[in-house]
Amino acid sequence: MSSVDFALLHAPAVYDFRERSIMFGPVSDMVPSTPIFEMYPLGFTTMAEYMERHGLRVRIVNLAVLMLNKPHFDVEAAIRDMNPVAFGIDLHWLPHAHGSIEIAKICKKHHPDTPVVFGGLSSSFFHEELVQYDCVDYVLRGDSTELPVTRLLYALKGKGSVADVPNLTWKDATGATVVNPMDWVPSDMNDISLDYSFNMKAVIRYRDMMGFVPFRNWLQYPVCASLTCRGCTHNCVTCGGSANAFRKHFGRSKIAFRDPELLVRDIEHIQKYIPGPIFVLNDFLQAGRDYTREFVKGLQRIKLRNPIGFEFFKPPHEEFYEFLDAHLDDYSVEISVESHDDGVRAAFGKQHYTMDQVEQSVKAAMRNGCKRFDLYFMTGIPTQSAASVRETPDFVRGMYERLGNDPRVLAMISPMAPFLDPGSMVFDDPARFGYTMRARTLEEHRQLLVQPSWKHILNYESDAMTRDELVDSTYEAGLGVNQVKAEIGMISPEVAAATEKRISEARVAMQRIDDIMAGPQAARDQGIRALKEEFDRLSESTVCEKSELEWPRYVGPRHVAAAASLFVKENLANLFGRQGGKLPPAVSEQHRNETPAFNLASEPTEA
């Protein structure tokens, strides 16, 4: 990897998960990745493309996927063979607190003089603690590090000073911590690209498919995300990406939207190469009526063929669904309602709608061409009791009856696990919201992650129910929702039976862990280790079958032709476009003819 300036490494949640025996439980049932959270953040793609556009060479290496798919993959050997100017490691989500630091240690072990750079929301929150680790040299703060990391890499190459890099926390020659001003908080998202053809070019360049895929089963289910904005207008109290969290911890007082025309262009590039569904993150309705109309009409203009799903933070009205139906052929909707109880939802920060309004919204969507409507419920949220959690299946049954048992509606439930988000209002002031924190520092969270079960890993306990009650009620509610979906034909009897079996076995396994942990210290490690195979089997698709999350995908000749054309063009570019032994930049087609947004002599202008 001698021609690479920046190696972006994505670590598993727990570095040595292949050796450790941990009952992760249903912590990842509602996301595409496994419990080791092998899906790297979207910022990897936007950073890599931006840096290449500005003359640097960047490679993404998804170590977590490689470790999952290749049982004998040698992480140390792979890192030892790398020789970048710097390593970049994400700590965006706190569940990576263990794996990310362990990977950083390996980088320093084999490359003691190569800088290690951290970034992400959790890195930003813990930046001063994080930079104290011997294996960490720099931490980039904030939600938009494309420009700062580019300036940092040039500074490390002798073209500039790290003292001038915005948003940077670092250690000077004496070991003292220096916190540069948070000077780079762009007001929009128009200077970046979320272009998946960049990843495809990188695969061709490095002959490395598994190192670039976003999560383990992506080749079988190639779902792609499109990002509407950075920041949020809402204040869900446990969310580390709330308006309050961005304002207080990440320097953002105003939401930054991507221009709707550019967002449409992102999606047009996705559908050119990738047949899977496209998920639009961060409720675009926050941007207002004009933005919404321009975006949706743009999707019609490009003749969108891929299934597309939208995340909404509150239930839209019928007029909006009529508008979607008039312009789109295949759209779906997702809303995280958290609880059936309006009072619990209000305590969570979602007092701006009721479950009755949700049901009316679902009916309106079904009348207007919506292909699927996903409703997510959660356990462990403020004021929620175990009894309230156990009421969820009966509510779901009644809801289905009121919706005519429409098979397009899919209800799912999972725990708020493993952690309350750093930067959230609850994390900042747990007592106010009825919580006791079991960890506060980054290192305390690292130690929790290697505990034997998700009950022991949780960084919180609610005043409304104990951790034991949370575990029991989550499994009971998952079992009940599974039975409801089976009764009305939402899932097959075989899927329902398999899920019920897993839940029952998981509950027994959790009790066995508690029994072992209550026994003699000397016997604990051996007893837990003996259950590893069982834990691995029961920690994925626990409270629902993960395939329930999947929307349809359609592979057509146009995808094959586009990928073949890209393969030929990129190989020719790599063969004839080398300069000084380096590969040509894998610049996004969206920016091929554009002038770089800044030069090295310029100073950041937005804050």
Higher-pLDDT residue of 542, 92: 92
**Residue 571: predicted pLDDT:** 47
Q: What is the CATH number of domain 6-190?
A: 3.40.50.2300
Residue 290 · residue 232 · CB < 8 Å? no
**Is the model's pLDDT at 597 over the cut of 60?**
no
User: Which alpha helices (DSSP H) does 70-219 contain, by range?
Assistant: 75-80, 97-110, 121-125, 127-130, 146-156, 196-206
Q: Any residues with CB less than 8 A from the CB of 251 and at least 6 apart, and which?
A: 141, 142, 167, 182, 185, 607
Q: What is the pLDDT of residues 502-536, one digit of tens each?
A: 999 999 999 999 999 999 988 998 999 999 999 99
Geometric angle at alpha carbon 384, from 378 and 389, rounded to 5°: 55
**Is the model's pLDDT at 163 over the cut of 90?**
yes
**Residue 598: predicted pLDDT:** 55
Of 129, 68, 80, give the one whose Cα is nearest residue 106. 80
* Mode of pairing for the β-strands spanning 435-437 and 460-462: antiparallel
**Residue 420: predicted pLDDT:** 96
Query: In Å, what is the CA distance from 157 to each residue of 140, 161, 180?
Result: 17, 10, 19
Higher-pLDDT residue of 25, 604: 25
Q: Which residues pair with 58 in a beta bridge?
A: 6
Q: What is the pLDDT of residues 293-318, one digit of tens each?
A: 999 999 999 999 999 999 999 999 99
- Helix (H), strand (E), coil (C) string for 242-300: CHHHHHHHCCCCCCEECCHHHHHHHHHHHHHHCCCCEEEECCHHHHCHHHHHHHHHHHH
Residue 264 · residue 302 · CB < 8 Å? yes
**Residue 508, number of CB atoms within 10 A of its CB:** 12
**Residue 605: predicted pLDDT:** 45
Indicate the DSSP class of residue 181.
-
Residue extents of the structural domains in the chain: 6-190
What is the Cα–Cα distance from 481 to 473, expressed in whole angstroms?
A: 12
Q: What is the pLDDT of residues 541-577, one digit of tens each?
A: 777 776 776 666 555 555 444 444 444 454 455 445 5
601 pLDDT tier (thresholds 50, 70, 90): very low
Q: Any residues with CB less than 8 A from the CB of 515 and at least 6 apart, and which?
A: none
Q: What percent of the chain has pLDDT over 70?
A: 88
**Residue 448: predicted pLDDT:** 98
What is the Cα–Cα distance from 88 to 120, expressed in whole angstroms?
A: 11
**Residue 565: predicted pLDDT:** 47
Q: Any residues with CB less than 8 A from the CB of 296 and at least 6 apart, and which?
A: 323, 324, 327, 328
| Mean pLDDT, residues 438-465 taken together | 98
What is the Cα–Cα distance from 135 to 235, expressed in whole angstroms?
A: 35
